[in-house]
Amino acid sequence: MKVFHNIIEARNIPNAVVTIGTFDGVHLGHQAIFNKMKSLAQSVGGQTVVVTFQPHPRQVLNIDSSNLRFLCTPEEKLKKFEEFGIDNVLIINFTKEFSRTPSEVFIKDYIIDHIKPAYIVVGYDHHFGKNRMGDFSLLNDLKRKYNFKVERIAAQDVENIAISSTKIRNALAVGNVKSANRLLGYTYSVTAEVVAGNKIGRTLGFPTANLELPREYMLINRGGVFACLVDYNGLIYKAMANIGHRPTIGDRGEDQPIIEVNLFDFDGDLYGKQIRVRFIDRIRDEVKFDSLDELKAQLEQDRDKAYKLLENINL
C-alpha cells in the first residue's frame, strides 16, 4: 500500500476507484465500501484510493473537542486500510483554511484534476466540503461534467443495529466490548507502552502491565474486568485486564482510568515495551473490596472466568 501526503504524488493512479472520509475504526460499514471499491477496481483494471484527513476535522474545528474520542490511532487506521486491501491512501492536511473549500471545488481541485477517478464510492450518509454541503446527490450531478461514475453503499447493519462509529464508541463507553466487536467486524484493541505501576498486583500473585492511554483513545469508561488477548513480541497471550481507578488500593482518585493487564503464562519484564490488548468480553464491574485478601480471592475467580471465555480461541 502506498501512502501519499501530497496531492501531486497521487497523480497517475490508473483507473482510480476513490472514496473519501475519516473512517474512524474502519468498521463493517467502511469495509463494505472497501469491498465494493476492490470489486470495481478489478472490473476496470484499476486501483483503490482512500482520501482521508489528518488531523481529524473535529479537532481542527473544535466541534465538541472536549468529548472527542477515537477508535484507533492514525497509525492503526493505516494498518487497517492495508489489511482490508486498499492500494493507495492520500492523507490531506486538514486546516481551517481547507475546511472552507466548497464541495464542488474540493471534488474538482483535489479529486478530478489530480487523481482522475473512474469511480467515486461513498457511504449512504457521506458529506464533504464546506459546511458538509457535498453529498451523493452532488456527486451524481457532477459525474457527467467530470466524467466519472459514482456508487453509494447502503447502510450496513448487524443484528438490526445500523453500524456507525458513534454506536461503537457508545458500546465501548459502557464496557460492552462484545457489541462493539460485532459492529467493528474485528476485536477492539488498544496499543500502548507499559509504564511503571505500584507493583501491588505482583504481591498478590497477579503482576500487571500498566497502560495509560491518551484521553482521546480511552474509550472504555465503565470500570471493570475483561477477558483479553495480548500481542507482544510476535506471540499472543491470554490475559485479563482491569480498567478503572483501583478503589481497593485507593491511589487513583478521580484521575483518568488506568488499564492493568495480567498476562497468563508469562514471565518477563514489559516496562517500556509496547503491547496490544484485544478486548474479548466483560467479566464484571470494578468493585471496592474490604481487604487485599478479598481482592486476591476475586482475582482468582476472574482468572478462571477469563480462561473459560478464552478457551475456544486458537492462538
pLDDT of 224: 92
Low-confidence ranges of the chain (pLDDT < 70): 64-66, 197-205, 246-256, 315
Architecture of the CATH domain 2-158: 3-Layer(aba) Sandwich (3.40)
- Residue-level pLDDT at 199: 61
pLDDT score recorded for residue 97: 95
Contact 136, 34 (CB under 8 A): no
Interatomic CA distance for residues 103 and 106, integer angstroms: 5
Closest CA to 87 of 47, 121, 38, 118: 47
Whole-number pLDDT of residue 48: 98
Instruction: For residue 93, give the H/E element and its range.
Output: strand 88-93
**pLDDT on residue 248:** 54
**Cβ–Cβ under 8 Å, residues 49 and 117:** yes
Cα 19 to Cα 103: distance, rounded to the nearest angstrom: 15
Distance set, CA 73 to CA 26, 88, 114, 210 (Å): 11, 18, 27, 19
Q: Where in the chain is the domain with CATH 3.40.50.620?
A: 2-158
Return the pLDDT at 213: 87
CATH fold group of domain 187-310: Elongation Factor Tu (Ef-tu); domain 3 (2.40.30)
> What stretch(es) of the chain map to CATH 2.40.30.30?
187-310
pLDDT at position 159 is 74
Tell me how crowded residue 11 is: count the other CB atoms within 10 A of its CB: 13
Record the cell numbers describing residue 59, joined without a space: 479537532
At residue 85, the pLDDT reads 97
pLDDT (0 to 100) of residue 4: 96
Kindly give, in sequence order, each residue whose CB lies less than 8 Å from that of residue 146, ignoring residues fewer than 6 positions away. Answer: 107, 108, 112
- Report the pLDDT value the prediction gives residue 153, as an integer from 0 to 100: 93
CA dihedral angle for residue 202, residue 206, residue 209, residue 212, rounded to 10 degrees: -100
**Strand stretches in 155-300, DSSP E:** 157-158, 161-162, 189-195, 209-211, 224-232, 235-244, 258-263, 274-285
Q: What is the pLDDT of residue 1?
A: 97
95 closest CA partner among 53, 63, 67, 127: 53
- Decide: 90 and 51 in contact? Cβ < 8 Å: yes
Q: Are the C-beta atoms of residues 23 and 53 closer than 8 Å to each other? A: no
